[in-house]
Amino acid sequence: MEFDKNINIREEVHKFFNEDGLLRNHFPNYEFRLSQQKMALAVVDSLENKRHIFIEAPTGIGKSLAYLVPSIYYAKKYNKRAIISTHTINLQEQIILKDVPLLKNILQFEFQASLLKGKSNYLCPNRLKRAYENSSSLFENNELATLENIYRWSKSTNDGTLSDTDFPIETNVWQSVCAEVNVCTNKTCGDINETNCFFQKAKHKVYNSDVIILNHYLFFTLFNPTSKDQKSGFLFHNDFVIFDEGHTIEDAAAEMSVPKVSREMIKFHLLRLYNGKKKKGFLISFPALNILPVVENLLEINQNFFYELRRKVFIRQFDKYDKLSKRIRDTGIIKNHLNEEILVLIRQLQELKKFAKSDIIENEISDYIIRFAEINRIINDFIELKEKDYVYWVELSNNSLEANTTLCSSPLDISDYLRDNLFKESNSALITSATLSINDNFSYYKSRLGGEAADDIKLPTQFDYYRQVRLIIPNDSTLTPLKESNPEYIDSLTEWIKRTINKTEGKALVLFTNSVLMKEIGNRIREVLNNKGLELLIQGEGTSRNSLLEKFKTDINSVLFGLDSFWLGVDVPGESLSNLILTKLPFTVPDHPLIQARLEYIDSKGGNSFMEYTLPEAILKFRQGVGRLIRSKSDEGIITILDYRILSKQYGKYFINVLEECPIDII
């Protein structure tokens, strides 16, 4: 059915979410949600008035439909594109596989939606063909098996992306056959009507879509405010953007603004060019082999460069480093020993272009040139500490002598950049999450993102917390986690965890902030729980996060110990999660260079870093953590906070005040 551009979007959206609206007719047990309707109308008003808005939408109101429906209407009426950016793959899949098909069935007009992935997620048939023809010079035996699997899969796949594979893939093989920014072009892939290029087809579908779904990291990778196309939009001409899971935007934007460089990353790309031990690599098929010693020399220099850096920055005692990440404050900490040889490699790669037998091979050479020039630039910028308001640090992957070493940097404050480019006039950026405010005030998160001028709305919960939740706080001073290695503290925390788990006979998610403490307590109580027929699941014991969650959901009486990633994005409705235990208020330990630098930056400008950063961040994470318990109107349970500071410290009231009103037992 043709879309009627004369319709009043606000009226249509209001009717859609009404008690007797279109949505009701497709759900036999439909429950009208006033907050969902309010959110949808707030989205309409923001888009119609070209305003930015922060929307706090509690769990259970159906926020994805609340922003999708008005976005689709608005995109169709004004020939715009709706960009939907999320943090997790799970939410992207829910939108494209569940919400979009539902709305295609309900809405009385056609619309197109597509999922956009990074270019390297797509198979390039041309690169696959070349890799297949030159497989003996590129790959080892185990890699040849992967290549054969990819080749067979390429004949049947429809979307040609990594997520469509059901077999293990060697990284080196995929890097040799996937679409690359500087390799695969319109010229090499052909016209859209003739091409068999999966990426070109996906891009064409995106350009013809009303709704485009992607993740935050890809959004900020593609986000280029200086582009002509993005002057009046964000990624495309004449678009608007909705960030779901918006509490993760700052970290994503900061991370994508500065690429990292590591020893293993450089080694990987050099070995793709030429592996002397195995006589494999891209350069094998070229006659000009004087470049091969340059690659081998760079491999040795790369190893020595990062070894020297590690020795200068870190102290090693008793088979461990003093820290796994250290801030660099002084310029010239090390000389870029790779610089001259990388420049030689780039010159020789330029010379190789005359031997290229096709555009795609020439593009492959250009890609290596661009890649190594960028690596060299990042190393030089790091050594010079080029950007004034950036923090620079070196990170080790683990405590082993051969630990990968990474050069890292990040802007201290990304608010000015986002204020000028994301929250620009005459467009709409909508940020939504279950946790954006502190005590009904959005000022903290707005200031972090530079969105002070944006509107905001906090929607009421659909749940009856007074009936569904009971909060328990032990009045026990031994639960003060000033020194988590203190035996008295560990003994007390262990006993309280056992006691609290007994209340519900399992069915408990226990959230930690310290992995050593989590394992220590896990070892202490595992046998006790097993004797009661309760399985203890602990993060980091070799089982993936998703598998742990599935076990926890299906084994109703099990107990799950989790760290940082379990404080958010965990959705376990029903009896399996009836007991949520927070072992500690989630203050970030200021030992990471980025956190240290952010605190110093605030203090240097006359601010109070604890009140302006440490406390608000802890409160937002606390809200994320307690939000794991109630996921539906039928859920009931207890939340236990095993941190005496919530009673003994002045700031404790801030944590209690952000909770929905519920009975509180201080025992």
Q: What is the pLDDT of residue 358?
A: 87
Report residue 436 as tokens: 């954006």
How many other CB atoms are found less than 10 A from the CB of residue 357?
A: 9
Total count of domains within the chain: 3
**Nearest Cα to Cα of residue 562 among 496, 487, 624:** 624
> Bigger pLDDT: 439 or 474?
474
| 438 & 519 share domain | no
| 527 & 427 share domain | no
| 550 & 641 share domain | yes
441 lies in some domain = yes
CA distance linking residue 536 with residue 231, whole number of Å: 53
Q: Is 554 exposed, middle or buried (0-12, 13-18, 19+ CB in 10 A)?
A: exposed
268 lies in some domain = no
| b/e sequence 594-623, b meaning 16+ C-beta within 10 Å | bbbbbbebbeeeeeebbebbbbbbbbbbbb
**Nearest Cα to Cα of residue 15 among 7, 5, 23, 4:** 23
Instruction: Give me the half-sphere count of Cα atoms (radius 13 Å) on the Cβ side of residue 373.
Output: 11
Name the amino acid, one letter, at 144. Answer: L
Decide: 238 and 232 in contact? Cβ < 8 Å.
yes
**Residue 628 pLDDT > 80:** yes
The radius of gyration computed from the CA coordinates of the chain, to the nearest angstrom, equals 27
What pTM, to 2 d.p., does this model score?
A: 0.87
CA distance linking residue 281 with residue 302, whole number of Å: 18
CA distance linking residue 117 with residue 575, whole number of Å: 36
Q: What is the pLDDT of residue 90?
A: 79
| 626 & 542 share domain | yes
CA distance linking residue 17 with residue 65, whole number of Å: 10
| 192 & 125 share domain | yes
Residue 64 pLDDT class (50, 70, 90 cuts) = very high
CA distance linking residue 65 with residue 82, whole number of Å: 13
| 90 & 127 share domain | no
Q: What's 601's domain CATH number?
A: 3.40.50.300
**Which of the 8 DSSP states describes residue 614?**
I
| 506 & 526 share domain | yes
**Residue 496 pLDDT > 90:** yes
**Residue 175 pLDDT > 80:** yes
Residue 343 pLDDT class (50, 70, 90 cuts) = very high
Among 197, 215, 240, residue at a domain's last position: 197
Among 178, 197, 216, residue at a domain's last position: 197
72 lies in some domain = yes
Q: pLDDT tens digits, residue range 567-605?
A: 887 788 889 999 999 999 999 888 889 899 999 999 998
Q: What is the pLDDT of residue 623?
A: 92
347 lies in some domain = no
| 60 & 157 share domain | no
Q: pLDDT tens digits, residue range 107-130?
A: 989 999 999 888 888 998 888 988
The average confidence (pLDDT) of the chain is: 91
**Residue 289 pLDDT > 70:** no
**Residue 230 pLDDT > 90:** no
**Which domain covers residue 145, as residue numbers?**
119-197
Quick one: average pLDDT of 234-243?
92
269 lies in some domain = no
Q: What is the pLDDT of residue 23?
A: 84
Least confident of 140-149, 298-307, 378-387, 644-653: 140-149
Percentage of the chain modeled with pLDDT above 70: 98
263 lies in some domain = no
| 632 & 518 share domain | yes
319 lies in some domain = no
Decide: 71 and 44 in contact? Cβ < 8 Å.
no
| 524 & 620 share domain | yes
CA distance linking residue 134 with residue 130, whole number of Å: 6
Q: What is the pLDDT of residue 118?
A: 86
Tokens 């990440």 sit on residue: 325
What is the enclosing helix (H) or strand (E) of 493? helix 487-504
**Residue 629 pLDDT > 70:** yes
| 31 & 146 share domain | no
Percentage of the chain modeled with pLDDT above 90: 63
Contacts of range 286-295, beta carbons closer than 8 Å, 24 or more positions apart: 286/352, 286/355, 287/355, 288/348, 288/351, 288/352, 288/355, 290/348, 291/345, 291/348, 291/349, 291/352, 294/341, 294/344, 294/345, 294/348, 295/270, 295/345
447 lies in some domain = yes
Q: What is the pLDDT of residue 202?
A: 85
Report residue 106 as tokens: 């309900």
| 210 & 184 share domain | no
Q: pLDDT tens digits, residue range 390-436?
A: 999 999 999 888 899 999 999 999 999 999 999 998 889 999 999 99
Residue 56 pLDDT class (50, 70, 90 cuts) = very high
Among 197, 219, 237, residue at a domain's last position: 197
